[in-house]
Chain A
Amino acid sequence: MRVTLATSANFIAGETSPILSLTGVSKSFPGVRALHDIAFNLEAGEVTALIGENGAGKSTIVKILTGIYAPDQGEIVVGGAVRHFASPRDSWAAGIAAIHQETVMFDELTVAENIFMGHMPGGRFINRGEMRRRGSQLLERIEADFDATAPLKQLSVAQKHMVEIARALSHEASVIIMDEPTAALSRTEIDDLFRIVAQLKSQGCAILFISHKFDEIFRIADSYICLRDGEMVGSGLIADASEADLVRQMVGRPIDQVFPKRDIAIGETVLEVEGLSNPTEFADISFSLRRGEILGFYGLVGAGRSEAAQCLFGMSRPTRGAVRLNGEPIVIESPGAAIAAGICYVPEDRQHQGAFLPMSIRENITLASIASHVKGVFLSRSSEREATRELGRRLDVRAASWEQTLGELSGGNQQKVVIAKWLAVRPKVIILDEPTKGIDVGSKAAVHDFIGELAEEGLAVMLISSELPEILGLADRVVVMHEGRIATTFSRGAWSAEAIVSAATGAERRA
């Protein structure tokens, strides 16, 4: 409490003593140096972007600031006093609050209960009236459009973020850490979040903002800190930096941000979809897809792209519409039927929707194509091993043996195995749902390369992506969806980023 008042006063007085400063912070884990000699300040009323590739040490910093890890060396000074965080509670008490990417809260409880979990007003008995009143005040302060008595489970992801912000404010937090807060938000929700961030700034909070998206960093941040391999490789004011500068600092080498589009001969039509509709999610989806073609699907989050693709994959049944594969009409009743017909869907959340952690690499890779390994009644181990070796090598899966369980592999290698599983099916059409979501710049380039390779091999690729540069760089044509319908379709060369975005936001229709 005292800390907050003091810093707010400093802020008003225009003094520049930082709210939080790290000096010489290092942290090692057995065999790994996670952070080395990190030093930075967070100033009142400033948004500082923390950038770096996956594995650069961003989350280690968050964990040190929130009291989950203790640093091996160095000190943390908050509000002029050196702090040692023995637990997350100490960090809370010092006025540091973190808002996580995946919100961790209690779905069955009310908004107010979530805000005050762990420090509810009242003594031995909870003072519910007081809790509601103070909860409403906090929500009012951030202009939330929901009630303190609402059950949390009725809220959208964006609204849950607001609850977390209210929770941070209830602790009088002066430092707020936002760990990829926009990952699951739509454009308007992101606008709302940024409005709140601006408000927190004006109230004198220091904000540490972690994001992979440069447009957000340039929009919201005042300064930045760049990490690479656990070391600070750059920092400064955002106003003095360009996107190319930041990328160079992150990867340590210039990366071609403009994706090299491969020159691929486009073949005959493979898939034709006509008027695919269901009552609540999408209507009149019509498009065709040819061999070697990459067809982008762009739209805001929640535009119905994934739902339409999942329907095409047999996860749900359309109420209307026809699908033709190689000119033959087909009815796709189940994912099994889709796979048999040569249509694969690589889900957005590859870890949760694709990985079988207790099973071996071999069993994971052959699972979707298991029918091809049946010899007589029984499965042929040698045939399975051969397929696993081939695909494992092709995707460069790093493992001690193919019989290792998937749970023992690192996240990146798990992802490779999940993709290998779908390639093992030898599909004609592959649907990739947000293939680069949440991965760093370096790995993104590898995924883009790989998508080009698939098209080159003659697959028809349906690429669902919310990242415009990705669509612009890779796709031959782009289907833009808005509120469950196809707004328009552009061909390569005949598009502009502005036209695509305005179609996706429905601006054209309204005009």
Chain B
Amino acid sequence: MSLLLRHRELALGLIIAAMVAGIGLYAPAFISAANIATVLNDTSILFMLVLAQMIVILTRGIDLSVAANLALSGMISASLAQHFPHLPVIAYIATGVAVGLALGLFNGGLIAGVGIPPIVVTLGTLAIFRGLIVVYGGGSQVNASEMGDVFQNFPNLTVLGLDAVFWIAAPLAIAFALFLNFTRTGRNFYALGGNPLAARYCGINIGRQLLLAYLVSGAVSGLCGYLWVARYGVAYSEIASGYELTVIAACVIGGVSIAGGVGTVPGALLGALFLGVIVNALPVMQVTPFWQMAISGAVILAAVVVNARVERRGGKLILPEARRSAGAAK
């Protein structure tokens, strides 16, 4: 049990496995290969957004504008496809990423440059970005029929039973893991969130790190903007409305500390998978959407409570016998 508590990723993985097994008993079709692929495909966008959000939360920040950014980037990317339907798909993707990056730069500039608290900045830009979609599109929407095949087919391209959207998320996750664990800049995010003042004394350029966090968050949101619009075949001002809360919830479930400085890539991914499984399972269990929201909320609170308990258990190891039992020294 103590091993599980120490390795929360393992515990969360087992909980998800048990949950899937339980649902499988009720609806055997749920654990078919095809359905598991569906869950992974459906959760891929969440995987990516959660990783980007985690970097922001590591720095003691928060990015509430991710879903609005996604909607605006997706809208602009879709309208490019509407006017130029035969460009190579990379042009649409690049447009989404570029718009997302620009919006992230705006957030990051205000947070790192001007020094406004992240929650205030991104709450403001959330509204601005959503508003810009209406201004940009004149309140109209771009439908599937107007986007063209190149734009729409790519995210649903299937390789080895999994969609392209998954095959984008997977290498991105590996890149995030390498970045956070094995690069100087990645390590600095943990230091910055763990103790901002001490990080400054260590020579870490705090402004640069913060800006980078919001740039990453913006770029990933932009990428997901294209993927979301192309996958679901519609772009308008309300897509992914409120999805930022799902993203943040997945981080919390995955053990990313809102206080900053704590979080791992596997943890965050499992947090996203947990919500992905619930969202896909509840309809199978014939639970109404209203109950789905309430259940998701209850699960999030439960995760936070468990989190708090685990933190409290971790006392200092001062007694020699406690040090010995924690592992052999040196």
Contacts and interface: CB of A to CB of B under 8 A. Distances in A.
Interface in A238-254: none
B205 A334 contact: yes
Contact of A356 (B184, B190, B323, B328): B190
A335 interface: yes
Contact of A401 (B182, B188, B314, B328): B328
A32 B328 CA distance: 22
Given A389-B330, A399-B323, A356 B203 contact: no
B153 interface: no
Contact of A355 (B195, B257, B326, B327): B195
Interface in B151-202: 178, 182-184, 187-188, 190-191, 193-195, 197-202
Contacts of B197: 352-353
Interface stretch (A215-223, A338-346, A445-453, A466-474): A338-346
Interface in A352-407: 352-359, 363, 367-368, 370-371, 374, 377-379, 389, 392-393, 398-402, 404-405, 407
A193 to B, nearest CB: 29
Interface string A150-186: 0000000000000000000000000000000000000
Interface in A410-442: 410, 421
B194 A358 contact: yes
Contacts of A337: 203
Nearest to A310: B201
Given A315-B200, A389-B330, A356 B191 contact: yes
A371 B184 CA distance: 7
A363 B187 CA distance: 8
Sort chain B's interface into a size bin.
35 or more
A423 to B, nearest CB: 14
A407 B201 contact: no
A355 B329 contact: no
B190 A353 contact: no
A408 interface: yes
Nearest to A402: B330
A59 B311 CA distance: 25
Q: Interface residues of B: mostly helix, strand, loop or mixed?
A: loop
B194 A409 contact: no
Contacts of A370: 184, 187-188
A335 B196 CA distance: 13
A16 B197 CA distance: 52
A31 interface: yes
Sort chain A's interface into a size bin.
35 or more
A347 B201 contact: yes
Contacts of A378: 178, 182-183
B184 A374 contact: yes
Nearest to B262: A358
B191 A379 contact: no
Nearest to B257: A358
B203 A353 contact: no
Contacts of B184: 370-371, 374, 379
Interface in B298-330: 314-319, 321, 323-324, 326-330
A339 to B, nearest CB: 4
A336 B316 contact: no
B204 interface: yes
Contacts of A404: 317, 326-327
Interface string B43-66: 000000000000000000000000
A335 B326 CA distance: 36
A230 to B, nearest CB: 15
A407 B329 contact: no
Contacts of B198: 352-356
B328 A335 contact: no
B218 interface: no
A461 to B, nearest CB: 18
B100 interface: no
Given A368-B203, A370-B187, A357 B323 contact: no
B118 interface: no
A404 B318 CA distance: 13
B260 to A, nearest CB: 8
Contacts of A355: 195, 198
Nearest to A373: B184
Interface in B87-145: none
Contacts of A338: 203
Nearest to A335: B203
A143 B261 CA distance: 46
Contacts of B199: 356
Contacts of B329: 398-401
A407 B182 contact: no
B183 A359 contact: no
Nearest to A398: B323
A345 B203 CA distance: 11
Contacts of B261: 356, 358-359
Given A358-B261, A367-B187, A374-B184, A339 B203 contact: yes
Given A379-B184, A401-B328, A359 B190 contact: yes
A337 B204 CA distance: 10
A407 B183 contact: no
Contact of B191 (A336, A367, A377): A367
Interface string B7-45: 000000000000000000000000000000000000000
Contact of B324 (A374, A379, A400, A402): A400
B203 A336 contact: yes
Q: Which of A337, A340, A371, A379 has the most CB of B within 10 A?
A: A379
Contacts of A358: 190, 193-194, 257, 261-262
Contacts of A363: 187, 190-191
Contacts of B194: 356-359
A374 B185 CA distance: 11
B195 A356 contact: yes
Nearest to A370: B184
B183 A401 contact: no
Contacts of B204: 335-336
Nearest to B261: A358
Contacts of B257: 358
A408 B314 contact: yes
A355 to B, nearest CB: 6
A379 B317 contact: no
A400 B327 contact: yes
Given A353-B201, A358-B257, A378-B183, A400 B326 contact: yes
A470 B193 CA distance: 36
30 contacts: A315-B201, A335-B203, A338-B203, A353-B195, A354-B195, A354-B198, A354-B201, A355-B198, A356-B199, A357-B195, A358-B190, A358-B193, A359-B261, A363-B190, A367-B202, A370-B187, A371-B184, A374-B183, A374-B184, A378-B183, A379-B182, A379-B183, A379-B187, A389-B330, A398-B323, A400-B317, A400-B327, A408-B316, A409-B316, A410-B318
Given A374-B184, A400-B328, 16 more contacts: A31-B321, A32-B319, A335-B204, A336-B205, A353-B198, A354-B201, A357-B195, A358-B190, A359-B191, A359-B194, A379-B182, A379-B183, A393-B330, A399-B317, A399-B323, A407-B314
Give 9 nearest A-B pairs by CB, closest first.
A336-B203, A400-B326, A356-B194, A378-B182, A335-B203, A339-B203, A400-B327, A358-B261, A410-B318
